[in-house]
Amino acid sequence: MNKNVTDEIKKAVEILQNGGLILYPTDTVWGIGCDATNAEAVKKVYDLKKRQDSKALICLVSNDAMLERYIEEVPDIAYDIMDLATKPTTIIYDNPKGVAKNLIANDNTLAIRVASDKFCQYLIGKFKKPIVSTSANIAGNKTPPNFEEIDKAILTGVDYVVNLKPENKNSVPSSIIKLGIDGLVKVIRE
């Protein structure tokens, strides 16, 4: 890993550890991130996006082992979906644990994606906790497809902007699939 990437990860982790917000390239679009276990940091994200906190946010984890630490029981089908997915796929799980309460939806679910790009994997791995990942836009506005279209209010509202180009030029939000304990699979966003 080059020095620039290492430096960016170090700076971003420092901000996250102090309850701050980062703007960072994810495996999909540019995301606003914070410590998913810190309720005050999560509230800052809702405030910045001008969004009601009943609308849950997505979390990124670095691997399956981290996923299993924050979900009561990961259904076997989740692994099949992740293995077969052709693009980044977020899965909504029942019974999350160990994350900020204001991150959990009213129906006791949490949307989590195992990051597929190296930068996010390294960042989350160094931070050792899930990171919130929500599109870098004000609620109700469209998701910016690239860095240049991110609203100034977002750019100035975060504590740190990661100075790296995204690995992939996907720039579309992930698919979202809801898995019920009852085995029900429902596609929320393709």
Quick check: 183 pLDDT over 90? no
Beta strands in 42-164 (DSSP E): 58-61, 89-94, 109-114, 131-135, 160-161
53-70 per-position pLDDT tens digit: 666 789 999 999 999 999
Highest mean pLDDT among 53-62, 156-165, 167-176: 156-165
Confidence of residue 52 (pLDDT cuts 50, 70, 90): confident
Give the model confidence (pLDDT) of 67-96 as tens digits: 999 999 999 999 999 998 888 899 999 999
3-189 adopts what CATH topology?
Answer: DHBP synthase (3.90.870)
Q: What tokens were used for 69?
A: 């630490």
> Which residue, 174, 157, 168, is CA-closest to 22?
157
**For 166, left (φ over 0), alpha (ψ -120 to 50), or beta?**
beta
The model carries a pTM of 0.91
Residue range 161-180: mean pLDDT, rounded = 75
Cα 26 to Cα 24: distance, rounded to the nearest angstrom = 6
CA 125, 177, 158, 30 dihedral sign is: positive
* CB 77 within 8 Å of CB 185: yes
Residue 50 has pLDDT above 60, yes or no: yes
The per-residue pLDDT for 54 is 62
Tell me: the pLDDT tens digits for 96-131? 999 999 999 999 999 999 998 899 999 999 999 999
pLDDT in tens, 133-144: 999 999 889 888
Give, for 187, the enclosing helix (H) or strand (E). Answer: strand 185-189
